Chains A and B, each alone.
Chain A
Amino acid sequence: MSATIESNVKPQRPWVKTPKEQLPLIIIFIASIIMTEILIVATPLKGKLAYAAVFISMVTILEFLYVRRTQGSKASADVIASSIMISAGFIVFLPVLSILATTIVKGVPGLHWSLFTESMFNASYQSPIAEGGLLHAIVGTVYLILFSLLISVPLGVLTALYLTEIRGPGSAFIQFMVQAMSGVPSVIAGLFIYASVILLTPLDVSAFVGSLALTILMLPTVTRTSTEVLKLIPNDLREAGLALGATQWRTVAMIVVPAARSGLLTATILGVARIAGETAPLIFTLGVVDGTNFNPFSGASSSLPIYVWRGFGLATDEAVQRAWTGILVLLILILGLFTLARAIGARAKG
Chain B
Amino acid sequence: MSSPVKQLEIPVPRELHNKPRVSDRIFRSTVTGVSLISVIVLTLIGLFLLLKGYAAFKSEGFSFLTGFSWDAYTDDAGNRFTNLGIGAMLFGTLLIAIVAILIGVPLSVLTALYLSFYAPLKLKKLLITVVDLMASFPSILYGMWGYFVLMPSAIYWAKLINKSFGWIPLFEVKQGLFTRSPWVAGLVLSVMIIPIVTSVSREIFAQTPLDRIQAAYALGANKWLMIKTVVLPFGANGVVGGAMLGLGRAFGETVAVFTVLNLVYDINWHVLFGAGGNVASHIILRWGEASDIETSALLAAGFILFLLTLLVNMFADFIVKNTVKKGK
Contact = CB atoms under 8 A, between A and B. Distances in A.
Say whether A associates with B. yes
Contacts, number: 256
Nearest to B226: A78
Contacts of A338: 132-133, 136
A178 B38 contact: yes
Q: Provide the main secondary structure of the chain A interface.
A: helix
B49 A185 contact: no
Interface in A72-87: 74-75, 77-78, 80-82, 84-87
Interface string B115-147: 100110001000101111110111111111101
B254 A185 contact: yes
| Residue from B20, B145, B153 whose CB has the most chain A CB atoms within 10 Å | B145
Contacts of A185: 251-254, 280, 305-306, 309
A70 to B, nearest CB: 14
Contacts of A88: 106-107, 110-111, 114
A89 interface: yes
Given A187-B284, A312-B144, A247 B37 contact: no
Interface residues of A, number: 87
Interface string A169-201: 010011011111111111111011001100100
Contacts of B118: 82, 85-86
Given A74-B222, A84-B110, A188-B302, A330 B41 contact: no
B17 interface: no
Given A184-B309, A195-B52, A199-B52, A216 B41 contact: yes
B23 A249 contact: yes
A64 interface: no
A75 B299 contact: no
Contact of A248 (B20, B142, B254): B20
Contact of B138 (A96, A248, A305): A305
B197 to A, nearest CB: 11
Contacts of A196: 44, 48
Contacts of B21: 247, 249
B192 to A, nearest CB: 9
Given A166-B28, A185-B251, A327 B34 contact: no
B299 A191 contact: yes
B114 A192 contact: no
B289 interface: no
Contacts of A166: 28, 31-32
A253 B26 CA distance: 13
Interface in A330-349: 330-331, 334-335, 338, 342
A19 interface: no
A114 interface: no
13 contacts: A78-B222, A85-B110, A95-B191, A102-B148, A183-B248, A183-B309, A184-B306, A185-B309, A186-B254, A188-B305, A280-B255, A324-B144, A327-B144
Interface of A: 49, 74-75, 77-78, 80-82, 84-89, 91-93, 95-96, 98-99, 102-103, 106, 154-155, 158-159, 161-163, 165-166, 168, 170, 173-174, 176-189, 191-192, 195-196, 199, 216, 219-220, 223, 247-250, 252, 273-274, 276-280, 283-284, 305, 308-309, 312, 323-324, 327, 330-331, 334-335, 338, 342
